[in-house]
Amino acid sequence: MDSPDFPTAAFDRRAWPMGGRLDYWHAPDGWPVRRYRLGSGARGRMLVLGGRGDMIEKYLEVIHHWASRGWAVTSFDWRGQGGSGRLTDDPLCGHIGDFADWIADLNALSADWRAEGEGPTTMVAHSMGGHMLVRALAEGMTPPDAAAVVAPMLGVHTASLPRWLAVGIARAMVRSGHGEDRAWTQKEQSERQRKMRQKRLTHDPDRYADEIWWRDHSREIALGPPSWTWVLQALESTRALERSDAVARIATPMLILATAVDQLVSTPAIRRVAARIATARLHVYGPEAAHEILRELDPVRLDALARIDAFLDETA
């Protein structure tokens, strides 16, 4: 127990934790993928997968949390975002030609990660990372002992557009040669625009401000909207995964956390996919949680961490 005379220092979300290692893992084709590792591994090893547009820096707080619990935590920036380069001439456009490229990277990186040590293994994935993890498991990736996916992109929230129209628009834009162009403009010039984006992500203005701080101080990791190809890939890959018979064959113990009011991913799709995975447990938050559950206000964030920790203690 902490002494009242020596309270635990608050975690500095705008600094790298002491003792970590930032380097590059190279994919089989030589592409440099920025990687970060922290923790002793006394409890086991954990791989943390971020979402679209994310960078390692956004999740230093939870990486530190799990490292302090004894996990050897590894996280990385997906090819084409964060510190892992870009796939178009536009440094702010989040582009990938085929989601299969990210699946290949995940398979290769996780194989090397698995070979680094022994003990229980787990993967924690957010949003797009959750989609990649579930798809990779469905396609036969060597599974971890347990997995937790948070607000996974198992369906795309298309707002006021019916899904068929969103698919049609994306296909038309790709076919007309705009596949590598930004699908929309990320407006953050005014306080009102920033507030609107923040509310889609988190109720915590301070943690949202952390992301902006990192982007402003390290412009090479900043990313804006996705490309039209990314949008089409997301719509097609999520639908194919939901319809795949392989989803029902996933045997990895899995905790799925979602929120009923998510404005980025489809909560109904999450419920449908979760129901098909026999080993999955689903918890859905209410309006108290926006999309970035692990970067929410503490009542939600700490509850999510407690759920994940208890699940991993039981299953891994």
Compute mean pLDDT per 10 residues along the chain, 316 residues long, and list them.
52 96 98 97 97 98 98 98 97 97 98 94 98 98 98 94 95 98 81 88 97 94 96 98 97 98 97 98 98 98 98 97
pLDDT of residue 185: 84
- Cβ–Cβ under 8 Å, residues 297 and 206: no
Does any domain span residue 1? no
Number of domains in the chain: 1
Asked if residue 10 belongs to a domain, the reply is no
Give the per-residue pLDDT at 188: 66
What's the CA gap between 251 and 266, in Å, rounded? 23
The CATH number of the domain holding residue 105 is 3.40.50.1820
Q: 228-243 and 163-173 helices cross at what angle (nearest 10)? A: 130
pLDDT score, position 266? 97
β-strands 44-49, 121-126 pairing: parallel
H-assigned helices in the chain: 60-68, 99-115, 128-138, 163-173, 191-201, 205-217, 228-243, 267-276, 298-315
**What are the Cα distances from residue 249, in Å, to 18, 22, 139, 245, 265?**
41, 36, 10, 7, 23
Q: What are phi and psi of 281, to 5 degrees?
A: -115, 135
Residue 144 and residue 127: Cα distance in Å, rounded? 18
**Residue 159 pLDDT:** 82
Residue 263 counted as domain residue: yes
Cα–Cα distance for residue pair 210/295, rounded to 1 Å:
10
Burial 2-32 (b: 16+ CB within 10 A, else e): eeeeeeeeeeebeebbeebeeeebebeeebe
**Which token pair is 290?**
């926006």
Q: What is the pLDDT of residue 186?
A: 74
CA-to-CA distance for 304 and 295, rounded, in angstroms?
10
* Residue 9 located in a structural domain: no
What is the reported pLDDT for 8? 53
Q: Which domain holds residue 191?
A: 21-315
198 within domain boundaries: yes
Secondary structure class of 138 (helix, strand, coil)? helix
pTM passes above 0.75: yes
In a domain, 16, yes or no: no
Give the C-alpha separation, 12 to 302, whole Å: 17
In a domain, 54, yes or no: yes
Q: Is 76 a domain residue? A: yes
